[in-house]
Amino acid sequence: MLTILIGLLIPLWLFYKYYVSVYNFWESRGIASEPGRFPFGNKLQLVTMNKSQALVIDKMYKKFESQPYFGFYVLRSALLVVKDPEIIRLIMAKDFSHFRDRFPARVFTSKEDKLQHHLFNLGGEKWRALRIKLTPTFTSGKLKGMFPLFIACAEDLSKMLISQIDKPVNVKDITACYTTDTVCNCVFGWENNSINEKENKMRKLGQTVLEISKTMLLKRMLRNIFPGIAKLLKLRIVSNEIEDSLIKMVGDTIAYREANGIKRNDFLDLLIQLKNKGSVEDDVKKNGNDTTAEPVEMDLGMLTAQCFVFFVAGFETSSSVQSYCLYELALNPEIQKKLREEINATINKHGGITYQAIQEMEYLDMVVSETMRMYPTLPALNRHCTKDYTTPSGQKIKKGDDIIIPLYSLQRDEKYFPEPKKFDPERFSKTNKYKINPFTYMPFGEGPRNCIGSRFGLIQTKVGLITILKNYEVCKTEETQVPLEFRGSGVIAMTKGPITLKLSPKPSGY
């Protein structure tokens, strides 16, 4: 009996020692840190995701106020939160070659998980080569060509809003339907209709992809604790069903276009060019081809992965910015009035919502910028150190270190933004925006890995806001949550419950 007991205890003891061995990682290097505790590391909420990760990290950010960076643990992962804007500048831009990857290679356990091999996730030379190939698909010229697609979706949104007048509505759901349709039109070339269809396939897909199920949490834990086993088991992030369905939909669309010679001036057209010719034709003529980039095999799986990430990022981030913006405008009616005056004056000048009209709406840009400061949809950015690095002032970051840039905390730090909880678009006026400390406001990231679709996202967001605000006044209701509460989620910040507001016909005089 004793022999059996010892035989059981020894493996358990060895497993425990292996598990907690990481909890001296930061202390051994003289870096301030939260002490690790078996089995969750520091914060149970970061494992179970039952609380906003931005708020959990922000609490530690304030605790280590005097430190340029600090460490903490999630299960067996040691993470470094970098707070100092100058060190962030070195990581994100100046010495980017040491921090080119977002995540360590162990994060991606299966080559068969095709939809995860997209631009946001990839590292190394594969990322660089794909970034070079995809950059021409997001030029201002390409977006101008797609602008009629934005307007068509905005017109559908405008028609739907008529039935929502003077009653509480979830503006997040409304804006998400609009952005889902816009992205489907501009990325896949599909005339989607989630605005008018409650059970729309693509809207439900977007909701499913962003859900963090218990199964997903268990997979993440296994990948964190036993990356070798996770790789052996080929654990997937996206289900086979979703992957197969998307690949078929994209494949069928490409086959139909190629068989019938159809061109729509959308992203899928440009991706088809990459698949067939290895580059975007017009831009090679203008700028030449980068011969230093390795070839990218743009097969159907890789092509669908790019569509997938454009879809998820495009519909969720833009809809979040719009809903947060409408929320703040409802709480700040004088700002809303000033914005509506600019919108209507500019539309009247140009005879409608045009690409040029949007570029001239300076106050709209200020309002959107302040919204993204207060509510960054990606509350943190990730970087993975690929080569040992020493800052000019002597701080050492080692190869293999996983780094977090706490956007939410930086953009709500009163050292950089006085009265950070106040919604004040004047921070981003022509006079004031140049006073902002560099690398404390980064809604689209910075450096070579900044958001490739930022122009697309801004246009989509502004067209949606203009469509609503030119015709309606946005007001809070008894059901409006003040302040907003955020729930635990994956990469993107999400609220607990709906963002409930009321749309009333715009006041007379406009």
Q: Tell me the C-alpha distance between 441 and 424, whole Å.
A: 14
Q: Which helix (H) or strand (E) holds 389?
A: strand 389-390
Q: Is 451 flagged in the annotation as binding?
A: yes
Alpha helices in 137-200 (DSSP H): 140-161, 171-183
Q: How far is residue 437's CA from residue 418's CA, in Å, rounded to a whole number?
A: 12
SS3 category, 475: strand
Tokens 């009265």 belong to 419
- Smallest CA-to-CA distance from 381 within 35, 79, 50, 71 is with 79
Sheet of 472-476: strands edge to edge? Answer: 168-170, 500-505, 472-476
Q: What is the DSSP letter of 165?
A: B
Spatial distance between the Cα atoms of 367 and 428, rounded to a whole number of angstroms: 8
Single-letter code of the amino acid located at 116: Q
User: How far is 237 from 251, CA to CA, in rounded Å?
Assistant: 21
What is d(CA 178, CA 314) in angstroms, rounded to the nearest whole number?
Answer: 11
Enter the tokens of residue 27: 């202390």
CB 71 within 8 Å of CB 510: no
Q: Which helix (H) or strand (E) holds 495?
A: strand 494-495
Q: Name the strand (E) or helix (H) holding 460.
A: helix 454-469
Task: Using the CB atoms, write b or e for 232-268: b if 16+ within 10 Å.
Answer: eeebbbbeeeebeebbebbeebbeebeeeeeebebbb
Q: Contact 436/427 with Cβ under 8 angstroms?
A: yes
Q: How many helices (H) and strands (E) does the chain have?
A: 19, 11
- The three-class DSSP label of residue 430 is coil
Widest CA span in the chain? 89
Burial class (CB in 10 A: 0-12, 13-18, 19+), 394: exposed
Burial-class residue 213 by CB neighbours within 10 Å (0-12, 13-18, 19+).
exposed
Binding residues, by number, are: 451
Binding residues for heme, by number, are: 451
